[in-house]
Structure 1
């Protein structure tokens, strides 16, 4: 009887329980479909993107688990399976891009990562007032990209900062994050009256 009582005691009762949070998961998605992306296994950003694509095209959900001192965060990515789509129309104003840890809005405004709260807040609270910012919070997408030549060791820190900031502003965890190639916009041609015609 004494052995039974000792055996039932919790030996780790002083050990701190970590809070668990899930970010970016669609409603009704099954947790068992999640496939862990271990970014440390990849030397190039494009290799990580290819792995993400394979996961999505196999009807699974790419995710990354981030452990901090106080919590375990599971972050799901919203990448589509490009094999199923010729193209997807996304308005640029509904996108915030973080490329090499620099925030970019409309390829016009560039901000350091510590400006994340202000940039996110402007888009999340815009509700269509400013035509250069997001139509509404439901449509806002966050693209994260790195150059192949740049190491992406800072990816966990960027994801942690992004999820913390989003939750602080919205009190939600439904953030839409896509891992992506850098989107280089081609500037429109100049108006006809500015083009010189050589005869």
Structure 2
């Protein structure tokens, strides 16, 4: 009887120990120190398509709150705070910062060249490092990744990509931010007829 009680006590102790194991929390982007009541958690699986995700991020931001994507894996919680502007952006970063998602796979900006997720660390250094001026210095001011997709596309593959991206970013041990934004693919529009006529008469 005493043996059974001892075994039962050990099982309870082990169960309590496992349940009390804490997750390591990692944050990416801004803000980290804002009031938690202003942070709105998002799960990619809840969105039927990419357009609804972009709309929701913009809606949260433009109502003075902060969207937060939460990924839990291997005892690590990764919080991604997407950057978003209610007003149209006044700049367009170089194409190297873009990742175009089609059919659940990441491609280099507007190409058919698939991104090898095993090489994300070098891609962070070469393509995602952001410099405000035209002459890059030794250390980037931040890292910028712009995820883009068509509105009607699903969100498959994005969570896995972001999980791998943040893990590789951690290995850089950088002291600057990893900023991630979600944009829609801008459709190509032909020039207005007036411009076409000028080309033919010029």
Normalised TM-score (structure 2): 0.70
The 5-angstrom pairing of residues 77-92 of structure 1 reads 77-80=82-85, 82=86, 85=87, 87-92=88-93
For the pair 1:159 / 2:162, whether they are aligned, the reply is yes
Query: Which of 53, 77, 86 is the equivalent residue of 1:48?
Result: 53
Q: Is the 8 A contact 1:102 1:112 kept in 2?
A: yes
The 5-angstrom pairing of residues 1-199 of structure 1 reads 12-15=16-19, 16-26=21-31, 28-80=33-85, 82=86, 85=87, 87-93=88-94, 96-100=97-101, 101-104=105-108, 110-114=113-117, 115-123=119-127, 137-138=140-141, 140-172=143-175, 174-183=177-186, 197=201
Instruction: Tell me whether 135-144 or 16-25 shows the greater mean CA deviation.
Output: 135-144
Q: How much has 1:173 moved relative to structure 2?
A: 7.0
Residue 4 of structure 2: aligned partner? none
- Structure 2: stretches of 5+ with no match in the other structure: 1-8, 192-198
Alpha-carbon spacing, 1:173–1:33, altered in 2? closer, same or farther (3 Å): farther
Q: For the residues of structure 2 that align with 1:197 and 1:122, how far apart are their CA atoms?
A: 43
Q: CA RMSD in A?
A: 3.8
Q: How much has 1:135 moved relative to structure 2?
A: 9.8
Residue 3 of structure 1: aligned partner? none
Q: How much has 1:184 moved relative to structure 2?
A: 5.3
Q: For the residues of structure 2 that align with 1:176 and 1:134, how far apart are their CA atoms?
A: 19
Residue 6 of structure 2: aligned partner? none
Q: For the residues of structure 2 that align with 1:144 and 1:24, how far apart are their CA atoms?
A: 14
Instruction: Tell me whether 59-68 or 92-101 shows the greater mean CA deviation.
Output: 92-101
Q: How much has 1:116 moved relative to structure 2?
A: 2.2
Normalised TM-score (structure 1): 0.71
Q: How much has 1:88 moved relative to structure 2?
A: 2.0
Q: For the residues of structure 1 that align with 2:82 and 2:73, how far apart are their CA atoms?
A: 19
Q: Deviations over 1:14-44 (max 9, x none)?
A: 4543212122123643333110112222212
Q: How much has 1:126 moved relative to structure 2?
A: 8.1
